[in-house]
Amino acid sequence: MKKIEVGILGATGMVGQRFVSLLEDHPWFELTWLAASDKSAGKTYAEACNWRLRTAMPEKVQGMKVHECKPGKAPQLIFASLDSKVAGEVEKEFAHAGHVVVSNSSYFRMEPDVPLLIPEVNPEHVALLRAQRRERGWKGMIATNPNCTTVGLVMSLAPLQKEFGIEKVLMTSMQAVSGAGYPGVPTLDIMGNVIPYISHEEEKVESETQKLLGKLVDGRVEPASLAVSAHCNRVLVEDGHTESISVLLKASPSVKELIEVWRKYRSVPQERKLPSAPAHPIVVREEKDRPQAKFDVYTEHGMATVIGRVRACPVLQFKYTALSHNTIRGAAGAALLNAELMKAEGYLD
Ligand SMILES: NC(=O)c1ccc[n+]([C@@H]2O[C@H](COP(=O)([O-])OP(=O)(O)OC[C@H]3O[C@@H](n4cnc5c(N)ncnc54)[C@H](OP(=O)(O)O)[C@@H]3O)[C@@H](O)[C@H]2O)c1
């Protein structure tokens, strides 16, 4: 198969760097175009980017020129990880000009005609793209992935919703500093501290969860009716959002049944063998002190949600801990998997 050329908007940022790294040996996509802000445009990627990953900057991108975020010469398929202040306008301009934008930013996530996708959870929502194109008059289109905190929560909830139904969810997050981009949270604010506020995060987790678990009816998503309450905190962890979750289900399974449902869970990305799909989207650990970001965040190359400490909850019904890699499964890896789903479903032909 001839590889599809792709570009990155926001290539120099935390998520942009993950894209560059994950695209290095991608079997379907070939990275040929990079863009960032005016301060980076015109420089080589090596000059413009303060590379923060532990693996080396791929040789191929080092000498590539960084462009302005303007459509025209960019490839048709664009991964977007732009600063949220500019993401909406730039993504709209690219979609209007005929590009397929697979976005990380929150700007379009809750628009009724924009798919908010986790391919293991709601692959059928990709069908919103047809209506979007028709109704907006764009030659291109926009698909989105959820907030990095929503992903781990919803990956853990989706199998429970399918098997048992869910009434209520309470989630308290401990979110990594890389979730705030680079340079992110000042050292003096986060060192020896927990910050109990992340702007707009709780609202995003609550509304995105309902859209992701919603049903596609007559070409529109009917949000799921479960009640979701999120408490979001920033902690001094490099990568990986840890979440303490309590749920009230509509049925009364045992802890053992819950674990079995999670362990058995497979969906479209696994069936279609999409290149970025984890073989096991949910990994359940039995040790009493796992998952831990330090040891478990790269499970399945950072694409799995790792669950542990599953037990009864005296207030709701069950409680557990979930861990998900925020810049891989919560951002660049999520968008790659979305694009792979779109390719497999014929949206990139
Ligand atoms: N970090 C995460 O875990 C995570 C997870 C999910 C979603 N997201 C979302 O992904 C997006 C990127 O996040 P990040 O963490 O990678 O942020 P970041 O490290 O701050 O990177 C921001 C990127 O946007 C570019 N940029 C900034 N201002 C611009 C402008 N005026 N015009 C064009 N480009 C501009 C920057 O280019 P320069 O280097 O040239 O300034 C950089 O490439 C955000 O919308 C964020 O909400 C992040």
Per CATH, the homologous superfamily of domain 4-147+332-344 is: NAD(P)-binding Rossmann-like Domain (3.40.50.720)
Residue 1 confidence (pLDDT): 80
Contacts of 138 (CB under 8 A, 6+ apart): 95, 96, 98, 132
Residue 89 confidence (pLDDT): 98
- 3 state SS of 54: coil
pTM check: above 0.75: yes
Alpha helices in the chain (DSSP H): 14-23, 45-48, 59-62, 84-96, 128-136, 148-163, 187-190, 201-212, 255-264, 268-271, 293-296, 333-344
Distance, CA 47 to ligand 1 centroid (Å)? 17
66 alpha-carbon distance from chain centroid: 24
Q: Is 148 a known active-site residue?
A: yes
Cβ pair 241, 179 in contact under 8 A: yes
Residues near ligand 1 (Cβ within 6 A):
10-16, 36-37, 39-40, 69, 81-84, 86-87, 104-105, 148, 178-179, 181-182, 326-327, 330-331
**Which residue's CA is minimally distant from atom 14 of ligand 1?**
181
Q: Is 69 a known active-site residue?
A: no
- 3 state SS of 324: strand
Structure tokens at 91: 């993504």
Distance, CA 135 to ligand 1 centroid (Å)? 29
Residue 312 confidence (pLDDT): 98
Cβ pair 20, 61 in contact under 8 A: yes
What ranges make up the beta strands (E) of the chain?
A: 4-9, 29-35, 66-67, 77-80, 100-103, 141-144, 166-175, 215-217, 220-222, 227-234, 241-249, 282-284, 305-312, 318-324
Q: Which residues of the chain have pLDDT under 50?
A: none
CATH code of domain 148-325: 3.30.360.10
Distance, CA 84 to ligand 1 centroid (Å)? 7
pLDDT tens digit string along 150-173? 999 999 999 999 999 999 999 999
Percent of the chain predicted with pLDDT > 90: 98
The sign of the CA dihedral 151, 155, 157, 161 is positive
The active-site residue, picked from 49, 69, 148, 232, is 148
Q: Which amino acid is at 71?
A: P
Ligand 1 atom closest to the CA of 107, numbered from 1: 45
- 100 backbone dihedrals φ, ψ, rounded to 5°: -90, 115
- CA 293 to CA 109: how far, in whole Å? 27
Domain with CATH 3.30.360.10 in the chain: 148-325
Distance, CA 15 to ligand 1 centroid (Å)? 7
Residue 81 confidence (pLDDT): 98
**Strand partners of residue 166:** 249
Residue 72 confidence (pLDDT): 84
- 141 backbone dihedrals φ, ψ, rounded to 5°: -160, 170
The half-sphere exposure of 102 on its side-chain side, counting CA atoms within 13 A, is: 29
- CA 233 to CA 175: how far, in whole Å? 6
Domain with CATH 3.40.50.720 in the chain: 4-147+332-344
pLDDT tens digit string along 101-117? 999 999 999 999 999 99
